[in-house]
Amino acid sequence: MTAIQKNVSSLVDITVAPNIVVTAAAGSAGQAITYNGPTAAAFTIVNTSTQYAIEYRCDGKAWQYLGKGVGARIVGNPTNVFARLINDGATSVQVELSAEGLPTAGDGFPVVPSGLALTASNTQFPNYAKALAELAAGQSAAGVNVGIIGDSLTVGQYALTSAQAGVAPFSLARLLAGMTGGTDNATFGGIQKSDGNIGNLIASDSRITQGAGTSWVCSQLGPKVIGGGFDYVGASAGAPLTFTPDAPWDTVDIYFVTNTAYGTAAVSGAVTGTLNTAGALGLGVLTLTKAHGNGAVTLTPNGTGQIHVVGINCYSKTIPKLNFLKMGVGNSTSGDWADSAANWRSVPALQLFMATSKVPLWIIQLGTNDMMTNVPVATFQTNLQTVVTTVKRTSSNLAGGDVVLMVPPPIPFGTKDEALQMSFRDAIYEVAGANGLRVIDNYVDYVNPANGSARGWYSTVHSLHMNAAGYGQTASNVYKSIVSYR
């Protein structure tokens, strides 16, 4: 297989480690991918298999999922690259490593997804394409954000052996970050709207920890605010809650709900300050900065009143990147995301986020929980249109971006019949047609047309969810359809 070629004239790929056969078992320390080649500003690891996915990691960082036939860009010069199999039946998978000869060495070169034609006149995603072109030209102030709105199928629930444990690497945001060399450097709280136990969130995402003291909880307001959020409702000083992003950053935005009786929290770690959430009922944002590099953000309640944090977003202005933002929360419906009944709910929260953080592309996958909770298809369609109107850029909504809709994978027919699911699928296409949007149809991809059976991508623990390979397939669909325009 020849190396992936990039549609940027200054890039030249040199295959430095072809035809490497990976046999290291799932869950192992992995197999070293050695190479002999030039010092480069970036490498691309390519999974050449047409059947099986793998995981890879660089310099001891988190393992990243790499779907079949997909390449991931590694920025900088890693000391070591390791790969291993996942539990999907494979005994060996072949990969290759390519080095990019770039005009500027080091981690300062902007991250551009492989295969992307950088044209500001792209008709399908004009705002996203323009933002990426600015990123490649060194003209992006804070990177390019991709917002992901959805339910547990974008969170990665049940990818492994339970609803929460260890699933964060299988969220759509984390998978796309791994495929593109981008970042997943934000957290928007609750993994499931009916579960206030922050222990489950911590179990799902190793970047979140909590110290001793009165505990925080999740989703007490949500997902009426995007992602559910973190809540502290104790009457005294509380436990420190810490978020440690994987990638370097220099700026953090902390979004929160305000109210007259709400309290304060000390912000410590890599940045210092005071989060003051007292005020008229609504939403606020606190922005703090530091020198570029890794570091944690810790919030410690002072016992002056309850605190409701919508999300923590860490990003780099020094070295702007392609940033994927997981805003989804399990069990959420279209109605949760279309909620504007109060000025702290989802719609105003999305509007505040767009006003403070440019988001040129939104990915929306909703519908599964609407079907499971018997929401009428007409209501779902109206709600979905409200969400699209909220985030889509128009002459009256200049803060919006491009939007792509995703049809969710099918629910097993014994749970919800095919006719109902097709009616929801049709509603998604109708909203897309009315707004000129592109659709990624996971329903078609996950179903064998001959007999309607799944292709082995469903969780064996919970049949409404995907396993690791299934979530990887969804991410590959997005990558091919959006990130690389293939």
147 and 362 in contact (C-beta within 8 Å)?
Answer: yes
In this structure, the number of other CB atoms found within 10 A of the CB of residue 130 comes to 18
Give the pair of three-digit tokens for residue 147.
């917002």
Query: Measured between alpha carbons, how far is 256 from 349 in angstroms, rounded to an integer?
Result: 9
> Based on the domain organization, do 192 and 323 belong to the same domain?
yes
Q: In which band, very low, low, confident or very high, does the pLDDT at 295 lie, cut at 50, 70 and 90? A: very high
> Based on the domain organization, do 398 and 453 belong to the same domain?
yes
> Based on the domain organization, do 81 and 188 belong to the same domain?
no
201-231 per-position pLDDT tens digit: 888 889 999 999 888 887 544 444 444 566 7
Cβ-count burial 13-24 (b if 16+ within 10 Å, e if not)? bebbbbebebeb
Of 91, 109, 127, the residue that ends a domain is 109
User: Is 187 part of a structural domain of the chain?
Assistant: yes
User: Is 289 part of a structural domain of the chain?
Assistant: no
- Considering only 88-102, 107-121, 147-161, 241-255, which range has the smallest mean pLDDT? 107-121
Contacts of 143 (CB under 8 A, 6+ apart): 135, 183, 315, 316, 317, 320, 321, 322, 323
Contacts of 371 (CB under 8 A, 6+ apart): 411, 416, 420, 421, 424
Query: Measured between alpha carbons, how far is 102 from 112 in angstroms, rounded to an integer?
Result: 12
**What is the pLDDT at residue 401?**
93
pLDDT at 115 over 70: no
42 and 34 in contact (C-beta within 8 Å)?
Answer: no
How would DSSP label each residue in 88-112? SS-S-EEEEEEEEE-SS-STTSPP-
Percent pLDDT > 70 in the chain is 78
Q: In which band, very low, low, confident or very high, does the pLDDT at 481 lie, cut at 50, 70 and 90? A: confident
**What is the pLDDT at residue 265?**
94
- How many domains are contained in the chain? 2
**What is the pLDDT at residue 279?**
94
**What is the pLDDT at residue 485?**
40
**What is the pLDDT at residue 194?**
61
**What is the pLDDT at residue 440?**
87
Contacts of 14 (CB under 8 A, 6+ apart): 3, 37, 38, 40, 98, 99, 100, 101
Query: Measured between alpha carbons, how far is 248 from 351 in angstroms, rounded to an integer?
Result: 27
Query: Measured between alpha carbons, how far is 410 from 421 in angstroms, rounded to an integer?
Result: 7
Sign of CA dihedral 366, 367, 372, 377: positive
**Over residues 307-322, mean pLDDT:** 92
CA distances from 91 to 45, 55, 88, 457 (A): 19, 14, 9, 18
User: Is 467 part of a structural domain of the chain?
Assistant: yes
Q: Is the pLDDT higher at 225 or at 195? A: 195
> Based on the domain organization, do 400 and 326 belong to the same domain?
yes
Of 51, 82, 109, the residue that ends a domain is 109
- Considering only 3-12, 269-278, 289-298, which range has the smallest mean pLDDT? 3-12
**What is the pLDDT at residue 450?**
35
Q: What is the CATH number of the domain that holds 76?
A: 2.60.120
Q: Is the pLDDT higher at 222 or at 442? A: 442
CA nearest to 67, candidates 469, 364, 361, 348: 469
Whole-prediction pTM: 0.76
> Based on the domain organization, do 412 and 361 belong to the same domain?
yes
- The angle subtended at Cα 257 by Cα 253 and Cα 262, nearest 5°, is 115
428 and 407 in contact (C-beta within 8 Å)?
Answer: yes
Q: In which band, very low, low, confident or very high, does the pLDDT at 298 lie, cut at 50, 70 and 90? A: very high
User: Is 422 part of a structural domain of the chain?
Assistant: yes
The rounded mean pLDDT for the chain is: 79
- Considering only 129-143, 190-204, 302-316, 378-392, which range has the smallest mean pLDDT? 190-204
> Based on the domain organization, do 475 and 388 belong to the same domain?
yes
> Based on the domain organization, do 169 and 26 belong to the same domain?
no
User: Is 244 part of a structural domain of the chain?
Assistant: no
> Based on the domain organization, do 86 and 175 belong to the same domain?
no
Q: Is the pLDDT higher at 443 or at 277? A: 277
> Based on the domain organization, do 389 and 443 belong to the same domain?
yes
Q: Is the pLDDT higher at 312 or at 42? A: 312
pLDDT at 451 over 60: no
339-367 per-position pLDDT tens digit: 988 888 889 889 988 999 889 999 999 99
Question: Which residue type occupies 435?
Answer: N
- Range 212-217 contact pairs with CB under 8 angstroms and sequence separation of 24 or more: 212/239, 213/237, 213/238, 213/239, 213/240, 214/238, 214/239, 214/301, 215/239, 216/241
**What is the pLDDT at residue 158?**
87
Q: In which band, very low, low, confident or very high, does the pLDDT at 65 lie, cut at 50, 70 and 90? A: confident
Q: In which band, very low, low, confident or very high, does the pLDDT at 190 lie, cut at 50, 70 and 90? A: low
393 and 438 in contact (C-beta within 8 Å)?
Answer: no
pLDDT at 197 over 70: yes
Q: What is the CATH number of the domain that holds 382?
A: 3.40.50.1110
CA distances from 260 to 201, 266, 298 (A): 28, 18, 24
pLDDT at 3 over 50: no
> Based on the domain organization, do 75 and 193 belong to the same domain?
no
Q: Containing domain of residue 35, as a range?
A: 1-109
pLDDT at 129 over 70: yes
10 Å CB burial of residue 123 (0-12, 13-18, 19+) is: exposed
Query: Measured between alpha carbons, how far is 4 from 25 in angstroms, rounded to an integer?
Result: 26
End-to-end Cα distance, the chain: 18
> Based on the domain organization, do 186 and 102 belong to the same domain?
no
pLDDT at 398 over 60: yes
User: Is 361 part of a structural domain of the chain?
Assistant: yes
pLDDT at 112 over 70: no
**What is the pLDDT at residue 64?**
74
Q: In which band, very low, low, confident or very high, does the pLDDT at 70 lie, cut at 50, 70 and 90? A: low
**What is the pLDDT at residue 18?**
61
Please state the φ and ψ torsions of residue 289, each to the nearest 5 degrees.
-130, 160
**What is the pLDDT at residue 76?**
59
**What is the pLDDT at residue 222?**
44
**What is the pLDDT at residue 66?**
74
94: alpha, beta or left? (left if phi > 0; alpha if psi -120 to 50): beta
* Packing angle of the helix pair 346-356, 377-391 (nearest 10 deg): 20
Report the Cα 425 to chain-centroid distance in Å: 23
Percent pLDDT > 90 in the chain is 31
User: Is 241 part of a structural domain of the chain?
Assistant: no
245-256 per-position pLDDT tens digit: 999 999 999 999
- Considering only 74-88, 117-131, 399-413, which range has the smallest mean pLDDT? 117-131
Give the pair of three-digit tokens for residue 107.
């981690």
User: Is 103 part of a structural domain of the chain?
Assistant: yes
Q: In which band, very low, low, confident or very high, does the pLDDT at 111 lie, cut at 50, 70 and 90? A: very low
Q: In which band, very low, low, confident or very high, does the pLDDT at 2 lie, cut at 50, 70 and 90? A: very low
180 and 72 in contact (C-beta within 8 Å)?
Answer: yes
> Based on the domain organization, do 14 and 101 belong to the same domain?
yes
pLDDT at 238 over 70: yes
- Report helix, strand and coil shares of the chain as percent, to nearest 5: 20, 30, 45
In this structure, the number of other CB atoms found within 10 A of the CB of residue 356 comes to 14
10 Å CB burial of residue 182 (0-12, 13-18, 19+) is: buried
**Over residues 112-126, mean pLDDT:** 45
